[in-house]
Amino acid sequence: MSRLFAPAPTPRLLAAYLVIGLVGSVILIYLLHRGLGPRGRRWLIAVVTFVAGLFYGLEFYYPVHNRKNFLTDWIEPVSVMIAVIGAFTVGLGIYSLCQVHGRNVARRRPGWPNSLAFFVAFLAMLVFGLWSHYTPVGEPAPKVLPWQNGVYEVLFNGLFAPLQTATFSLLAFYIASAAYRAFRMRTAEAALMMIAAFIVMLGQVPVGAWITSGIPLTSPWAFFRLETLGEWILNWLNMPAQRGIVFGIAVGALAMSLRVWLSLERGTFFSEQR
Amino acid sequence: MTQAPPHGFWQRMQQIPRYYIYALLAGVVIWQLLFPIRLPIAPSRATLGVRDAIRNVPEDKIVIISVDWDASTQPETGPQTQAIIEACFQLKKRFAIMNLAAPMGVKLANDIALRVARRYNAKYGVDWCNWGYKVGQGNFLMAVAKNIPKAVATDFYNKPVSELPMMRGVENISSIGLVVEVTGLAGMTELWLGLIQGPYGTPFASAYTAVMAPGYYPYLDSGQMKGMLVGAKGAAEMETLVNRPGSAVAIMNVQSWAHLLIIVLIVIGNVAYFMGRRRPGEGRR
Amino acid sequence: MNPQLWILSAGAIATVLRGLTAALRDPQLWILWAGAIATLGVYTILYRENPVSRFFEHIFVGLSAGYLLVATWAFNLEGRWWDPMIHERRWYWIFAPVVGFLFYFIYSRRLSWLARLVMGLFFGAGAGTFFREFFPLYSPQLYASFKPLRPDAQVGWAAVILHNWLFVIVLLTVLSYFFFALPHEGRAGRNLGRAALLGRWFMMIAFGAMFGNTVMARISLFIGRMRFLLKDWLGSFIPWLAHRGM
C-alpha cells in the first residue's frame, strides 16, 4: 500500500501518473454516472457519508494501545486531504458573483457601472495580491516597497479593511435608533430585560464603576457596585441560562449529526434527483 | 383602518427623525474623542486569567494565537490581539499566529505583530511566526494535533514552517503550551475545545467580541477556558495589565458616554410611550 | 515678466511636484485617504440609499472575492497541494482537485448528484467530527453543573445561596422551558409550566445582558472608525487632532 502511494521517481513519470490519474478519475466518474441509476446513486452517497463519519468517530472511540489504534496514523493525511478538497470550492461563490455581475454588464442593466466596478476591484485584488505574494519584501520591510506591493497594501489596508469596518460600524447607529423606537417596557419580562441591560451596560464601562465608587470594596454593600452587579448577572444569571441553552443545542446537534450520518435527512441537498 | 398621524408632544417624541439620534450619537463620540474624560480601568478576573495562562506556558512550548477575525470586528479584536501579543513578548513566550475562518484576519494580525515586534526587537521565525490562513477548520485541527509541520506546511510568507528556528522540535499538540482564540465568529471555540483542549488537555484562553461573550461564560465556569477577554473592555483591561494603554483604552473612555446616551434614549422613548398612550376608543375612524 | 521671477516660480513648482511625487509614492498617504473616502462613502447610506454607497458596496464585494482567491491559493493550495504534488512528486494529490471540482456540478441538473456525493463526504466528515468533540466539549459542562449546595470552610451561606443555589434554580428552570415531552396540563404539567415560566424570566435577564453587550460591541465599531477619521486621517494634516490623546 505504501509503495502505491510512494512519490514518482522522475518528473516524467510524475507527469504520466498525473495524466493517468486525471483520465482515470474522469472515466470512473463517467462510468458511475452511466452505470448507476437513482437508487444506486442514493446508495453510493449514503455509503460515502457513512464511511466518512465512521472513520472520524471510530478513530476516537476505538480502544488505543500506546495512545494509538489502527486508524490514528490515517487521521492527519485524511484530514489534510479533506481540507484541501474543501479549498477547491472557493470558486463556487465567486462563479455566482461573476455570473450575476457579468449579466448586468453584458445586458447594460441599470446599475451596470457598479458591476463593472466589482470586476475591476476583483481583478485588481487578484492580480496585485498574487503579484505581491510572489515578490515578498522580507522582514524588516524596505522603506520603499516595490510598486505592486504598495498597490496591494493600498487595496487591502486602504479600501478592503476600512470598507468592511465602516459597513459594520453602521450597526451602532441602527442599534441606537432601534433602542429609542422599539425597546418598550410593555410587559414585566421586557422590563426585566431592560433592567438587566442597563446594569450590564453600565457595569461594563468605567463610568459605571465611577457612579458607585462611593461604596467601599470591603463593605457588605459592595455587591451593589455596578461593576460587581454586572459581573454577577453575567456569571450567575446569564451563565446558567446559557448553559441550559448549550445543553439544548448539544442534544439537538447530536440528533442532527446522527440523522445526517445515517442519511435520514430529507431536504434540498439530500433529496434525490428528479 | 388608516393610522392616525401622531398628535401630541409625546406621540411626536416617539417618532423623531432618526437623523437626530444619529447626530446625537456621532456628537457624543466626537466630543469624547476630542475631550476625553479618563476614568480608571480595573482588570476583571477573566482578563487576569488570560494573562496568567500566558505566564504559565512552559519555556519549551509555544502559544498558538488563532486570529479568527476580520475587519468587521477590528476595533475590538485588533486591540485584543495586540495586547495578547504584547503579553507574549513581555513574558518571553514564543507564539504562532494562525487563522481558521477569516482569511483577512491573518494579514491584519501580521501587521499588528510586525509593529509590536519592532518595539521588542523580536525576530520573525525565532520569537514568533505566522502560519497563515488554513482551510479545513476541524479537519485542520485534527491534523495539527498529530503532525504540525505536515498540517501547516508553509507560513504566511510561503516558507516551509519546518525551516523556522522556533518550529524546531514543534511536532504535535504536546508542543503547544496554550491556545488563545481571538474571534468574532461563533463555532470556532467549540472546535478548539472539542478537538484540542478536551482530548489533549491543552490550556485554552479566548478573546471575543462583546456580542458573543455572554454565550461563552459556561466554558469559563467549567474551567475549559482559563480566561476570557470581553470585547473592547477586555482589550482595555489587558492593555492596562501590559502597561501599554492604546486604542482599547481610548475606546472605553468614549464607550461610557455612548452607553449613557443609549440608556437616556431608551428611558425617553419609554416615557414618551407611556405618556402618549391613547385611551381606549380614542383616534379610531 | 522678470526672468528671476520665472526662475523662482519654476523652482517653487518643481519643489511642490517633487514633494507631491514623493508623497504619492508613500502608500501610507494613499491608504489614509482611500480609507477615509471609503468610510465617508459608506456613511452616506445613513442619509438614504444612494449611488455612492452602492458603488463602494460593489467595490467591497469585488475586493473580498479577489482576496478570498488569493488567500486560498497562497496559504493553502500552494503549500499543501501544489508543492507536494509537483515538487515532492506525490502524484496522488491529483485526486484532490478532481473530487473538489465535483462540487461545481451543482450547477448542472443532470450531474448534480456528483456534487451531492462530495457534499455527503463533507457532511459525513462533519458528523464524525461532531461525534469526536461531543464528550470532550459537553461533559465538562455537565460536571460543572453539580455545584455544592452546602457551605464549607471557604464559602459561606450567602455565597452558596447567591451563587450555587441560584445557578441550580436557573439551570433547571431554563431546561424545563425546553422540555416539550410533557404537556403543561395536570398537576405535574402545571408545575412544569410554572418552572418554564420562571425559566423564561431568567432567560429574559440573560438576553438583557446580551443586549447590553451587543450595544457595547456595536458602539465600539463606530468609535474605532471615528478614531481613524479624526486621529489618523484628519490628524495627518491637523496636528492639534493628532495630539489629542485619542
Residue B38 located in a structural domain: no
Q: Kindly determine whether residue A201 and residue C76, on different chains, have CB atoms separated by under 8 Å.
A: no
Whether chain B has a CB inside 8 Å of the CB on A204: the answer is: yes
Nearest CA in chain B to A232: B217
Predicted confidence at residue B113, as pLDDT, reads: 96
Q: What is the mean pLDDT of residues B246-266?
A: 94
- Compute the distance between CA of residue A221 and CA of residue A213 in angstroms, rounded to an integer: 11
pLDDT in tens, B216-246: 999 999 999 999 999 999 999 999 999 999 9
Q: Which residue of B173, B222, B260 to mutate against C (max C Cβ within 10 Å)? A: B222
Instruction: Evaluate whether B228 touches B207 at the Cβ level (below 8 Å).
Output: yes
Whether chain A has a CB inside 8 Å of the CB on C1: the answer is: no
Out of B153, B218, B251, the one facing C79 most closely (by C-beta) is B153
Out of B34, B153, B258, the one facing C80 most closely (by C-beta) is B153
Instruction: Evaluate whether C20 touches A144 at the Cβ level (below 8 Å).
Output: no
Please report residues of B whose CB lies closer than 8 A to that of A176: 21-22, 24-25, 261-262, 265
CA angle B223, B224, B225 (to 5 degrees): 85
Q: What is the mean pLDDT of residues B87-91?
A: 97
The domain that holds B82 is classified in CATH as: 3.40.50
Distance to chain A for B217, nearest Cα, Å? 5
Higher pLDDT, B184 or B277: B184
Residue B265 located in a structural domain: no
Out of B40, B146, B215, the one facing A206 most closely (by C-beta) is B40
Q: Kindly determine whether residue A189 and residue C200, on different chains, have CB atoms separated by under 8 Å.
A: yes
Nearest CA in chain B to C242: B34
Highest mean pLDDT among B35-44, B143-152, B231-240, C181-190: B231-240
Q: What is the CA radius of gyration of chain B?
A: 24
Predicted confidence at residue C1, as pLDDT, reads: 63
Residue B263 located in a structural domain: no
pLDDT in tens, A100-137: 999 999 999 998 999 999 999 999 999 999 999 998 77
Residue type, B104: M
Out of B33, B74, B210, the one facing C230 most closely (by C-beta) is B33
Domain count, chain B: 1
Q: All 3 cell numbers of residue C125?
A: 466528515
- Compute the distance between CA of residue B114 and CA of residue B56 in angstroms, rounded to an integer: 24
Residue B258 located in a structural domain: no
Pairing of strands B62-68, B95-99: parallel
Nearest CA in chain A to B100: A83
Please report residues of A whose CB lies closer than 8 A to that of B42: 209, 227
CA angle B237, B53, C156 (to 5 degrees): 80
- Compute the distance between CA of residue A106 and CA of residue A112 in angstroms, rounded to an integer: 8
A 216-235 residues with CB below 8 A of B? 227, 231, 234-235
Out of C206, C215, C216, the one facing B233 most closely (by C-beta) is C216
Higher pLDDT, C224 or B14: C224
Distance to chain B for C66, nearest Cα, Å? 11
Q: Kindly determine whether residue B215 and residue A242, on different chains, have CB atoms separated by under 8 Å.
A: yes
pLDDT in tens, C189-242: 888 889 999 999 999 999 999 999 999 999 999 999 999 999 999 998 888 888
Q: Kindly determine whether residue A92 and residue C132, on different chains, have CB atoms separated by under 8 Å.
A: no
- Compute the distance between CA of residue B233 and CA of residue B218 in angstroms, rounded to an integer: 19
Please report residues of A whose CB lies closer than 8 A to that of C32: 158
Q: What is the mean pLDDT of residues A55-63?
A: 92
Q: Kindly determine whether residue B253 and residue A206, on different chains, have CB atoms separated by under 8 Å.
A: yes
Distance to chain A for B161, nearest Cα, Å? 15
Give the closest residue to A41 by CA, choosing from C112, C102, C107: C112
- Compute the distance between CA of residue A138 and CA of residue A116 in angstroms, rounded to an integer: 35
Predicted confidence at residue A273, as pLDDT, reads: 46
CA angle C14, C19, C25 (to 5 degrees): 125
Helices C27-43, C3-25: axis angle to 10 degrees equals 70
- Per the prediction, chain C carries an average pLDDT of 90
Share of chain B above pLDDT 90, in %: 78
Averaged pLDDT, groups of 10, chain C, 246 residues long: 80 75 74 95 93 95 95 89 92 93 91 92 93 94 92 83 91 91 83 90 94 94 95 90 77
Nearest CA in chain B to A170: B22
Does the structure show a pLDDT above 60 at B48? yes
Predicted confidence at residue C21, as pLDDT, reads: 66
Give the closest residue to B187 by CA, choosing from B211, B216, B210: B216
Q: Which residue of C83, C118, C205, C213 to mutate against A (max A Cβ within 10 Å)? A: C205
Q: Which domain holds residue B232?
A: 45-245
Nearest CA in chain A to C175: A244
Predicted confidence at residue A237, as pLDDT, reads: 94
A 39-68 residues with CB below 8 A of C? 41, 44-46, 48-57, 59-61
Torsional sign, CA B122, B128, B133, B137: negative
Out of C125, C214, C223, the one facing B211 most closely (by C-beta) is C214
CA angle A101, A103, A105 (to 5 degrees): 70
Higher pLDDT, C179 or B116: B116
Predicted confidence at residue A274, as pLDDT, reads: 41
CA dist C205 to A45, A197, A200, A234, A235, Å? 46, 8, 10, 9, 12
Please report residues of B whose CB lies closer than 8 A to that of A82: 136, 139
Instruction: Evaluate whether B253 touches B60 at the Cβ level (below 8 Å).
Output: no
Predicted confidence at residue A139, as pLDDT, reads: 63
Predicted confidence at residue C135, as pLDDT, reads: 93
pLDDT in tens, B189-214: 999 999 999 999 999 999 999 999 99
Does the structure show a pLDDT above 80 at A144? no
Q: What is the ipTM of this complex?
A: 0.89
Please report residues of C whose CB lies closer than 8 A to that of B202: none
pLDDT in tens, A195-212: 999 999 999 999 999 999
Three-state SS across A56-73? HHHHHHCCCECCECCCHH
Does the structure show a pLDDT above 50 at B10? yes
CB atoms < 10 A from the CB of B91, how many? 14
Predicted confidence at residue B283, as pLDDT, reads: 46
Whether chain B has a CB inside 8 Å of the CB on A161: the answer is: yes
Nearest CA in chain B to A194: B266
